[in-house]
Amino acid sequence: MTTLFAPTALLPDGWADNVLIEIDRDGWIVGVDAFKAAPADGKDVETVAGALVPGMPNVHSHAFQRAMAGLTERAGGKKDNFWSWRETMYRFLIDLTPEDMEAIAAQTYVEMLKGGYTSVGEFHYIHHSREGKPYEDRALMSRQVIKAALEAGIAITHMPVLYAYSGFGAQPPAEAQKRFVNTVPEMMKIVAALEKDYATVPQVTLGFAHHSLRAVSPEMMREGTRAARDLLPQAPIHIHAAEQTTEVEGCLEWSGKRPVEWLLENGNVDERWSFIHCTHLAEAEMEALASSGVVVGLCPTTEANLGDGVFPLVPFFQAGGSFGIGSDSHISISVTEELRWLEYVQRLVLRERTVIKEPDNPSVGAVLFEQALAGGARALGRRTGKIEIGHRADFLVLDQSLPCMTGKLRDHILDTAIFAVNENPVKDVMAGGRWAIRDRHHKREEQILARYRETMSKFK
């Protein structure tokens, strides 16, 4: 049992002072008591050195893509866009071995913890060898990613991705996609093997994903969802949707419907589903999405980096929609940067200020943070995002000693951390009851970085 004492903490109904939190050996919160007198600093109680807030779920990650960050910002002769970036990404993954996958993912997850995320939704689609053959253990690549998460100490919702086609109407997969391809029964072998090994590990949750409406047929999607539901009744199911106008056009041509519209009508979706991006929505589609219970996974830094477009967050949120945040391609990895972009892009488009808000909470930072916690926890199918009994002990300690944090209390702490702090405001990170980051340092970061450097030397 661990007991923490937080001089100030963000509880479900707001900020509270002098909070005692008890955590059991498996990483669950078993006691929360506010307004306790500060205990004598005995060995059994640890006082946290800053403002305690819930750790953020990262709803959408392709961990391996972190190794490409910074290599795709060079302008060539021809126009560069999402699709040309994707070709570079496909070239990059040709030589990726299972060892590389683990080394890169571990480094990504250490950076992710430092950036304020305590859980990650890994949308995992590189299943096979460079020849496109399944490994002897079909689930090998998945295991490498899960091992990396456990080594770093981040909780993972691992979602093996179903992928079969290169475009609408079941077009055969391209050569560059051969490492991704499975039938539903092949896919379920991976999910079942992982379920067998990780069902009782509290830091691991299993989910399932369809890559996109481009990559699975309607029949395959129905079959995959049914099989996943048989094995994992409550598991999250994710899918990419409507990130690019080309996808919307292709979908309209193929079905007469837009991707999100098609999914809401035919996907048999519910509140355990997340749609990632949904950048391009018609108004009625946006309203239907907001009332569907589906969580939208928004990845503002990647969406900006790839030139996707702008999600209509203000009307979506006003219509009651739920969202989580993800760092996706990991062009950068930071909760505060992701949330800052989320609000700023809307301000730039609307030419207004303070646009994401609630009638009873004028703090933009607090509303963004709490909405992303709630949507994120649901998207990952994990009991996290709240400092409350029965939830994971996933916390961030925000550094109140930074100059810019001077005199900032309660919601101003989040407003300042998100919009004003230059340096990383996340000082300590607890994930599943264990300190993963202390004073901005991860206890295995030197080893993980050394292995990452060795891996990267071959990608020169």
| Shortest distance in whole angstroms from residue 305 CB to ligand NGQ | 9
| Shortest distance in whole angstroms from residue 240 CB to ligand NGQ | 5
> How many CA atoms does the CB half-sphere of 319 hold within 13 Å?
19
- Residue closer to ligand NGQ by CB (options 214, 408) is 214
Catalytic residue among 128, 238, 240, 277: 277
- Residue closer to ligand NGQ by CB (options 301, 455) is 301
Q: How far is CA 185 from CA 189, 191, 220, 224, 227, in A?
A: 6, 10, 11, 8, 8
- Residue closer to ligand NGQ by CB (options 227, 331) is 331
Task: Annotate 322-338 with b (16+ C-beta within 10 A) or e (fewer).
Answer: bbbbbbbbbbbbbbbbb
- Residue closer to ligand NGQ by CB (options 258, 392) is 258
- Residue closer to ligand NGQ by CB (options 51, 379) is 379
Instruction: Give the residue carrying structure tokens 């703090």.
Output: 363
Give me the helices (H) in 61-217, please: 82-93, 98-114, 140-152, 184-198
DSSP symbols for 251-316: HHHHHSS-HHHHHHHHS---TTEEEEE--S--HHHHHHHHTS-PEEEE-HHHHHHTT-----HHHH
CA–centroid distance for 351 within its chain? 29
| Shortest distance in whole angstroms from residue 182 CB to ligand NGQ | 15
CA 34/CA 369 separation, integer angstroms: 21
| Torsion sign across C-alpha atoms 114, 116, 122, 123 | negative
Q: Is 442 a catalytic residue?
A: no
CA 284/CA 441 separation, integer angstroms: 47
Q: Is 277 a catalytic residue?
A: yes
CA 55/CA 118 separation, integer angstroms: 5
Footprint of ligand NGQ (CB under 6 A): 62, 86, 212, 240, 243, 302, 306, 328-329
| Shortest distance in whole angstroms from residue 343 CB to ligand NGQ | 21
| Shortest distance in whole angstroms from residue 323 CB to ligand NGQ | 16
- Residue closer to ligand NGQ by CB (options 152, 239) is 239
User: What is the three-class DSSP state of 19?
Assistant: strand
Catalytic residue among 328, 411, 415, 428: 328
| Shortest distance in whole angstroms from residue 281 CB to ligand NGQ | 16
Instruction: Give the residue carrying structure tokens 């990452």.
Output: 452
**Residue 237 backbone dihedrals phi, psi, to 5 degrees:** -125, 130
Which positions are catalytic? 277, 328
